[in-house]
Each structure stands twice: as structure tokens, then as C-alpha cells.
Amino acid sequence: MFDLHCHLLPDVDDGADTEATALALARAAVADGITHAVLTPHIHPGRYENSLASLAPAFDQFRASLEREFSDQEQSLKIALGAEVRLTDELPALLEQGAIPFIGEWQGDRVILLELPHSHVPPGTDQLVQWLGKQGIRPLIAHPERNRDVLRNLARLGPLVQAGCLFQVTAGAVAGDFGPGAETRARQMLEKDLVTVLATDAHHMERRPPVMSRGRDAAAAIVGEGRAWELVVDNPRSLSAPNFIERAVDNPA
């Protein structure tokens, strides 16, 4: 399985706080059947002042540690660098500065993992999405099923659907780990074929572990086995392929 939203990169946000924790999360991900992960630390001006330039050295260091960790094991975790980018007024400038790593491509567009405020869908979000589209950028909206506006009314996603957004639903939400409201919305999105990928949004071993399988199983009960596998393998593999292809070119071995 391919996980396009997780916070394994150590000591950069509210995810893994140490390398030991990050390696434990990686081992748990592999045990659950995850083979590839795009690491998506927060980029949130005023809270997490990360950027591609600051994250790249931390990523390279962790990748080397990960390769040592799995050097004598048959199964390993392949990783790429992305980011979970908060929707703020600074977003256009950050893009112009090349400060945001993309998580992949979809139908010729570069893709960013875009996080809305948890409390609401800000007015004008659909206009921003249209502006991004003119730049050849498509948002993959992170965990919309947990947004309070969407919890109150699923129709709040309508303008974003029409604007061409992709949607990442949390696997744990489908399995009921985030409460009945998020579970209901996640299931409705699956039923309406609005979900592009499932992902773990893993932060911690206990509170938010890197478990995809339970959500995949729950999704299969709603949309069938074939579609469920598309959400955790086919779609995320296709979307993230450029990131992992670049890694292969960097290190042909």
C-alpha cells in the first residue's frame, strides 16, 4: 500500500518527535503492509515554519537511517518528501519561492496536499483552487471528513469538487477511529465516489498509528474490494510515481 499523508519525519512538526519514534512508526507501517510513504510534515506559516529547503536535509538524514534500519530485512519502506500545506494567505508566495514540495502529479498537474482550517472551509477557497489550476497545480484536500463545516454539511465540498480538487480521506476515519461524525462523512464520500486516496495521517504509535489496513477493509465493505485497493495502491501509486521515479534516478542501485 502507498501512504501519501503521514508525519514520520522526526522533530519537524507534531508528528514523530525523535528518530527512534520515526523508525518505530516506519516499522509499524511496513508491518501493516505499507511499502511506500510520502512524508508530509506541516508547512504552516506562524506555527510550523518549514520549507522544502529546511526539510530536505532532515529527509535525507532520515532516509539514510531508514535504509540502515531495514538493510537486513526483506521488506522495507520506500519514502519520498512532500508536505501538508495549510491554506493561508502566504500560500501563493510560498509556491512562487519554490518552498513547497509537491507530493506527485495527477493528469498532468502537480499536486499539493492542502490542509483546510479544521474549523471551516474559508470563503474564496474555490477561487484559490481555480488560481492554482491556472498554475498547473491541483490540491489534494487532506482529511475533509474531519472539517467542521463538512461535518455539519457534506454539500460544503460541492464547490471544491466542481473546482477539480482531489480528496484524501483518513483510513482511520472510515474505520471509526475519529468518531461517528467523521466515519459517516468518510463513508458518504466513498459512496459518492469523491475519494481519491486513503492515507493514515500517522503521527504517533498510540494515538494515530500508521495503520491503513483497517480503513481499507472498512472501505471494501462499502465500495467493494477492487475499488478499495485502488484507493490504497493504484491511485496513490500513480499520483506519487514521479517522486519515487526521481529517487530511483538519484540512486540507480
Q: Which of 86, 79, 154 is nearest to 117 (CA)?
A: 86
Q: What percent of the chain has pLDDT over 70?
A: 97
What does the pLDDT look like over 113-147, one tens digit per residue? 999 999 999 999 999 999 999 999 999 999 999 99
pTM score of the predicted model: 0.95
What residue spans define the domains of the chain? Answer: 2-250
pLDDT, the chain, mean: 95
Domain 2-250, CATH homologous superfamily name and number: Metal-dependent hydrolases (3.20.20.140)
Give the span between the Cα atoms of 176 and 78, in whole angstroms.
28
pLDDT for position 49: 96
Instruction: Examine the pLDDT at 224 and tell me if it is beyond 50.
Output: yes
What does the pLDDT look like over 174-193, one tens digit per residue? 999 999 999 999 999 999 99
DSSP for 116-135 reads PPTT---TTHHHHHHHHHHT
**Mean pLDDT on 99-110:** 97
Say if CB 160 and CB 123 are below 8 A apart: no
What does the pLDDT look like over 45-97, one tens digit per residue? 999 999 999 999 999 999 999 999 999 887 899 999 999 999 999 999 999 99
Q: How confident is the model at residue 251 (pLDDT cuts 50, 70, 90)?
A: very low
Instruction: Examine the pLDDT at 246 and tell me if it is beyond 70.
Output: no
Say if residue 247 is exposed, middle or buried (CB neighbours under 10 Å; 0-12, 13-18, 19+).
middle
